[in-house]
Structure 1
Amino acid sequence: MKNRSFIKNKLKLALLAPAVCFSLMLTSCDKEVTELAPYDRLTEESAFTTPERVELAVAGVYDAAQSGFYAGGAVRGYPFGAAHVEQGDNRGEDMLNLEAFYAITYGSTYNAASANNVYHFETLYAVINKANIVIEGVEKAVADGLITAEVGNAYIGEARFLRALSHHELLVHFARPYNHTPDASHLGVPYRTLPVNTPARVEEAAQQGRDSVRDGYAKLLEDLNYAEANLPETRSKQISRATKGAAIALKTRVKLHMRDWAGVIEEGNKLVPASGPFESAVGGYELTASPDEPFANNGANSESVFSFENSANDNASVNGSLGQMYNVAGGRGLVSISPIIWNAEFWPEDDARRDITKSTARAIYTYKYRDAQTQSDWSPIMRYAEVLLNVAEAEARAGDSARALELLNAVRGRSTDEVYADLAGDALIQAIVNERRIEFLGEGLRWKDIHRLAKEGKYGPAGIPAKVASANLKRDDFVAASGSVRDAAIAIPFIPYDDFRFIWPLPISEINANPVLAAQQNPGY
């Protein structure tokens, strides 16, 4: 409880910079956001006193999501910068951790004090707390006549979108999947809807326990339904600020995790026409001609539904940028593609997605993130390709093989002539899951698929997959589409779904501060 007096002295939360960023309970950080000057010392009381300041307060929530804190306030790309992508990749088998940076995540040797999982948890709740402060502040600004209800509702829609996105990220790392129990009544994470900004709320937060996974997903959908109803269809910053289409797209992901196939199709049909060409009537989303374009043109392409923006003036630093972590051409190249996916038979040798790579004498690396100098690569959250494949899987599971196959081939066919024909049933579902591994390689989505499929144990590993160990890697382990990997290279063993390591522990900082959470720690930690 040592930080409680500190927090009570910091209740006037600076929303922009420097900021006190509240976690689930008692975590704080200082962070500078240079591009928001001259409003760089706004307190919570002053942030909602002019329309311009309200706008900047909303921007502050995006900033917290783009580049949260790390030990001592360093910027490392938490929670939705590079760290989000790297964590999602390194919990899976298709990207390979080469150095010590993500060795704990990659090898599943984490504990309640491990930095990667602790800061992921704490920065996600910092985003949630800022979102909740903005919601409360905007409601007051509307009541005071400072902004119109329409403008206020749109701001709240953005905050609720980011709140839902953050809670879902927490659920896929710190809780078992939706289908772990028949009614999803098992423990999820605390779903926070009030800011921790008064002494009473500090005390309340210190006693809040975990919602069930079922209730957490229900609240997620409430937030996203509100966002859909109140966000605009288009913006000048179409990709880096939440829109109606982004809320709908995220709902297709959430409902896929819930195994609500009809719900995925219902939401997806708002964006995806009944037949090709698949150009969305909402937001104008469509697949780009090349699979490389969403990354070559971060902020101006038709496929990216939502991403977090980075720039030369506001980025995640050398130790937290995608360009540094993944790019070997001028970057540190700490994470490479694994031979496990590179050699997969279902990835054609002539597939154009193999060209979005760089090879060295050691390994093969993704080239989706190419700005190692100023770290300006945006962090991808959702692309239209994912929406198409979400709907494809739901249609396949619901029995409409024809539409599922058409959607699958729309994504696959822009990269290779080796499209599928006459697939149905389990073979079609497996092909869709396999396609996700190719299409979203290096985008942090692999763990989400492992998490939602592991209990079923049919279309993906029934646990944490076996992985190639960097110490055992040889350059000639990479043989495109060969269908096998040298046995000695795969030296990090499979961990079954029932093992406690399948999900992360709640951080020691949180369970020490909250006796309710202490009693609800994930088993085994």
Structure 2
Amino acid sequence: MKKFNKILFVGLLAVLMGCNDAIDIRQPGRLDAANAFGNVEDLELGVLALYNQMDVTPKISMAANFTDEIAIGFDSGGQGIALYDFVLNAGSTAASDFWVRNFRVNNRCTILIEAAANITPDASEQDAYDNALAQAYFIRAYANFELLLYFSPDPRDDSALAAPVIDFVAPLSIQPLRNTTGELWDYINADIATASTLSTVQSDPLFISRDAINALRARMAATRGDYPTAETLAGNLVASYPLASTVNYQLMFLDASNAEVIFKLERTQNDSYDGQGATGSVSAGGWAGAIFAFVDATLDGSPYFEMDRSVFNLLDPSDIRYTVNVAPTSVINPNYDTDPDPVNTDKLVIQKYPGSEGQPLMNDLKVFRSAEMLLIQAEARAAQNNLGGAAQLVKQLRDARFGSPQALPSYGSIADAFADILQERKIELCYEGHRYEDLKRIGPAANVGIERDNTDCTTQSGACTLSATDFRFTLPIPIVEINANPAIGGQQNPGY
């Protein structure tokens, strides 16, 4: 499918499913899902609209703004200061975005899945029908996995409360209570199993494939603590998707290469994400680069967030990740920590999203890359006390990024290995939406939390460190849900 097809049908669900996202409300003259999805082609168009519901810019914004990836920029107008100061409560945008957005995706996927049950494909259409359903089941699983990650205090504790399991098209009057983490895992795993059975495509960087399904399964297994499964799934993907060369690594972030990309969300001119989202907000949307700057990824592009020195100081100019992440127009002050005005003398401009198609700040969003899979594999080896095997994988990644052999790390304990893997993830996956989830998952075991550069944070805020065991590594049930569903307020997460 071409880009223009995506653009043409991104609003399809709004027409086919209606503003209430429910097929059980049948008003005269209304085109509901039961009538709109009449054949396999309709399902395929509906799936395109589901893709338009997927967005990782909220994860990117949450990971950058709340953790230790960014510093307040010299051109800041106050955007994102509350989240930077670790202020999270039931009224925070982060809480409402992750809750409302993912339940909306869950509902719209369910509408398509239920409507598909009324369609009998011809033999020649069976693969297309199965693949459309596989993608819908995957997208629903992805949304619910995100709910679990952000709203369950402990994704490895089946008895902990998570989010409601809504596996049907819900009426507007529904007021569900929270299901347990184990019950939400069951829902997610069932959808992933169905998607895996139905998928007819092995590999495709722009659409859900069997490889993308296995990448999600690997991420889920690491989150669950099922490290043998995580190691196997991630290792198979690393074998199929070799790490990019230094040249292709840079081209990948210019959208000129799909080297090591397992699945990405395509962003193009005139689609519904072509624009500047809500700056400094977790409900970012729009161009990913606009999470950090107003105009473009240069010093003159009004960067309101800059790279935190805790990231920059880990980067070596000989490492291609330095070139990809640090804009050449940056002003680098080697004595920033003793300078009386580091905000204006040390300006580290983030260049992860320079733009493509002639549009500054707009780039495709990499959801799964083989580098993440390799680091999951390393984490799994470390968790199983294969410290030498974990070290070999970290070296393999560093060799690829430097383009030359690097020293083999040595780990004295699982905690040491986890800490080094977290540091490598901080470099490799910065500004891709992983840091908040990473610290929640293995930060406590590594004795690593949020550690901003002292000069950066004290100059602008004073909020420099936060333990990974802090309650704010779980989001609160948002006030918008509590107002509509008062009983769930009695199930609020600890600390809020």
Q: Is TM (by shorter chain) over 0.5?
A: yes
Give yes or no for contact 2:235–2:374 (8 Å, CA) kept in 1.
no
Query: Could you tell me which of 145, 149, 154 is aligned with 1:168?
Result: 145
> Does the 8 A contact of 1:240 with 1:307 survive in 2?
yes
Distance 2:31 2:372 in 1: 38
Distance in 1, matches of 2:110 and 2:372, equals: 28
**Residues 112 and 505, structure 1, Cα contact 8 Å, conserved in 2:** yes
Aligned to 1:153: 130
Aligned CA RMSD, in angstroms, stands at 2.9
Match of 1:521 in 2: 492
**Counterpart code for 2:163:** V
SS in 1 for 2:95: helix
Alignment of 1:131-280 (within 5 A): 131-142=109-120, 148-179=125-156, 183-196=157-170, 201-203=171-173, 205-206=174-175, 208-234=176-202, 238-272=204-238, 279-280=239-240
User: Are residues 209 and 220 of structure 1, via their aligned partners in 2, closer, same or farther at CA, if it must alter by over 3 Å?
Assistant: same
- The corresponding residue for 2:306 is 336
Q: Could you say what secondary structure the match of 1:141 adopts?
A: coil
Cα distance in 1, alignment partners of residues 134 and 13 from structure 2: 18
C-alpha change, 1:316 and 1:19, in structure 2 (3 Å) is farther
Is 1:406 the equivalent of 2:372?
no
Q: Does 1:64 align with 2:53?
A: yes
What is the distance in 2 between the residues matched to 1:391 and 1:524? 33
1: distance between equivalents of 2:386 and 2:251? 31
Q: Equivalents in 2 of 1:412, 1:242: separation in Å?
A: 29
In structure 2, stretches of 5+ residues that fail to align are: 1-10, 23-29, 278-285, 332-343
- The 3 A distance-change label for structure 1 pair 335 and 173 is farther
2:35 & 2:188 partners in 1: Cα distance?
Answer: 30
CA–CA distance in structure 2, aligned partners of residues 221 and 269 of structure 1: 20
Residues 40-55 of structure 1 correspond to what in structure 2 (within 5 A)? 43-55=32-44
Q: How big is each residue's C-alpha offset from its partner over 1:65-120, in whole Å with a ceiling of 9 and x where there is no partner?
A: 24xxxxxxxxxxxxx2x233111222211223434332232222132222343123
What is the CA–CA distance in structure 2 between the aligned matches of 1:135 and 1:520, rounded to whole Å?
30
Q: Structure 1 216/428 Cα, relative in aligned 2: closer, same or farther at 3 Å?
A: same
> Alpha-carbon deviation of 1:489?
6.9
Q: Match for residue 410 of structure 2?
A: 423
Question: Following TM superposition, by how much is the alpha carbon of 1:293 offset from its aligned partner in structure 2, in angstroms?
Answer: 2.7
State the distance in 1 between where 2:352 and 2:470 align: 33
CA shift in 2, pair 1:48/1:489, >3 Å: closer
Distance 2:12 2:287 in 1: 25
Matched, 1:86 2:74: no
> Residue 472 of structure 2 aligns with which residue?
501
Give distance in 2, aligned partners of 1:215 and 1:125.
16
Q: Which amino acid aligns with 1:231?
A: S
- In the TM superposition, residue 333 of structure 1 has moved relative to its aligned partner by 2.6
Q: 2:104 aligned to 123, 126, 129, which one? A: 126
- SS of structure 1 residue aligned to 2:306: strand
The 3-state SS of whatever aligns with 1:365 is coil
Q: 1:105 to 1:393 in 2, by over 3 A?
A: same
Q: What amino acid is aligned across from residue 252 of structure 1 in structure 2?
A: A
Q: Any conservation in 2 of the 1:307–1:378 contact (CA below 8 Å)?
A: yes
> Quick check: 1:252–1:263 contact (8 Å CA) kept in 2?
yes
Displacement of 1:22: 5.9
Secondary structure of 1:305 counterpart: strand
Cα 1:231/1:420, change in 2 over 3 Å:
farther
Distance in 1 between residues matched to 2:172 and 2:428, nearest whole Å: 43
Corresponding residue for residue 107 of structure 1: 85
Residue type of the partner of 1:343?
N
Match of 1:380, SS state, is strand
**Partner of residue 15, structure 1:** 13
Task: Output aligned runs, 1:254-333, within 5 Å.
Answer: 254-272=220-238, 279-280=239-240, 285-290=241-246, 291-297=249-255, 300-314=257-271, 315-319=273-277, 320-326=286-292, 327-329=296-298, 331-333=301-303
For 2:109, the aligned partner's letter is: A
Which residue is equivalent to 1:353?
A: 321
State, as a whole percentage, how many aligned pairs show the same letter. 23
Change over 3 Å in CA distance of 1:148–1:109 after alignment to 2: same
Amino acid corresponding to residue 434 of structure 2 in structure 1: L
Distance in 2 separating the partners of 1:368 and 1:262: 33
Specify the SS of the correspondent of 2:108: helix
Deviations 1:244-264 (A, max 9, x none): 000101111111111111121
Determine the C-alpha separation between the residues in 2 that align with 1:22 and 1:171.
Answer: 24
Given that 2:149 and 2:155 are in contact with CA atoms closer than 8 Å, whether structure 1 keeps it comes out as no
Listed one character per residue, the Cα deviations across residues 364-420 of structure 1 (whole Å, up to 9, x for unaligned) are: 123221128365411221111101110111012213344333322222111224623
| C-alpha contact 2:199 2:210 (8 A) present in aligned 1 | yes
Question: 2:334 matched to 1:364?
Answer: no
Residues 1:460 and 2:462 are matched in the alignment: no
Deviation, 1:195, is 2.0
Matched AA of 2:167: T
CA shift, 1:516, in A, is: 3.4
Aligned pair in 2 of structure 1 residues 43, 374: CA closer, same or farther (>3 Å)? farther
Deviations 1:317-371 (A, max 9, x none): 1123113333433754333210012123xx4452221111214345212322112
Cα distance in 2 for partners of 1:408, 1:268 equals 14
- Alpha carbons 2:60, 2:433 under 8 Å: kept: yes
Whether the aligned pair in 2 keeps the contact of 1:292 and 1:368 (CA below 8 Å) is no
Distance 1:340 1:419, change over 3 A: same
Deviates more, 1:349-358 or 1:126-135: 349-358
TM-score of the aligned structures, taking structure 1 as reference length: 0.76
* Structure showing the higher helix proportion among its residues: 2
Equivalent position amino acid for 2:184 in 1? G
Task: Say which is worse superposed, 320-329 or 208-217, in terms of deviation.
Answer: 320-329
Alignment coverage as a number of residue pairs: 440
Cα distance change of structure 1 residues 466 and 459 upon mapping to structure 2, 3 Å threshold: closer
2:152 and 2:79 mapped to 1: Cα distance?
24
Which structure has more relative contact order (CA 8 Å, sep 6+)? It is 2
Deviates more, 1:216-225 or 1:419-428: 419-428
The 1:405/1:106 distance shift into structure 2, 3 A limit, reads same
